[in-house]
Structure 1
């Protein structure tokens, strides 16, 4: 694990660190909570982040394996152990800056019998898993409200309610965020397989620069304008 962290911080693009630091600084400048309240709320969000990132990446691995690709199994990604799937930089970005990512699952499409269809299924697996988790969490919230009544706003009941609530909302956010059609997000992979984008001359350039494009969209709050309607729609739909 120590070697993994060393390799990660040695190879990470400095621009990404700078952008995350800028987002964090902006968040701190608009801070309207005490440090204690902020830490408490972040601890309640933490299970949602761990569950969302872990199950999202594991879903990619399991679906690819079921379609004949041994790569995820050989790399130890057929696991629900968060340490196998959480990218430290992506985790910290999600925890502190409000967006993030997991450790991408490597696949080898040469093993697929129907390559285009199977790559589409693998690309969809993560967001479908986030949808399922959010839906299950919403059922848990409704059960808690019906069984605890006003007691849900006090003590342990309140903490449990918000943990489950954040499991729902974080998974909705991850689902909608990953559907943005910019590489390396799943939305780009989905569109690539549906429309065969690999045949276009601009594909490789866009793919190689996709992450920096995504960072620019985040810095200028363009992603917020895109994500907010979708996130609010699913929150209202589920709860």
Structure 2
């Protein structure tokens, strides 16, 4: 999904940093609003990328097309409605990425429709901002622990099945690496990516 040539790595870095930072900040902000001050106490309630970046995860994303940010730690015991609020926190990260992607798509739409002259480098950065944020949102919704999708799915399971489900977390990263190198990931997720991009295009026609 994150299929960049070496020529695009420099252009991709700003998009990756912003995607990771906004994703984790959204988790922290929603958790804080819903009553859990754990992210605030851990210094995660900030848009400063350095508070959220995992440099090994970022390097993996560049080299292996699969990576991660520093996860935001939450304490569901602080929520009024544990299941609902945990799902809202989990959804906040991918939703933030979709919003960032749409803003970047709007900038491209504005540039293209008003014949604004921008450098090829800047245009590439903004284009990658769209693709990377959409991909990051979709990727994190895969229901494999420890991704956000797993948190969402687990809240629909009984306590006993939740325990069994999260026991797979130790194999999660291995499973994701294997998925990243099989056609399955692209076959399932690229159509979702294209649907989101088409939706952006449709919405922007009314701007």
Cα offset, 1:42, TM superposition: 1.5
Which residue, out of 16, 36, 47, partners 1:49? Answer: 16
> Of the two, which has the highest radius of gyration?
1
1:230 maps to 2:197: no
* 1: CA distance, partners of 2:77 / 2:164: 24
1:126 aligns with 2:93: yes
Q: Distance in 1 between matches of 2:100 and 2:122?
A: 16
Structure with the bigger RCO (C-alpha within 8 Å, sep 6+) is: 2
- What's the TM-score, normalizing by structure 1? 0.77
* Structure 1, unaligned runs of 5 or more: 1-26
Q: Which residue of 2 aligns with 1:196?
A: 157
Higher helix share: 1
Matches within 5 A, 1:1-239: 38-39=6-7, 41-148=8-115, 151=117, 156=119, 158-193=120-155, 195-200=156-161, 202-239=164-201
SS in 1 for 2:72: coil
| Alignment check: 8 A CA contact 1:191 1:197 kept | no
Q: Distance in 2 between matches of 1:92 and 1:68?
A: 34
Between 1:139-148 and 1:226-235, the stretch displaced more is: 226-235
Cα-Cα RMSD: 1.9
How many residues get paired? 198
Checking the alignment, whether the CA contact within 8 Å between 2:154 and 2:165 is kept in structure 1 is no
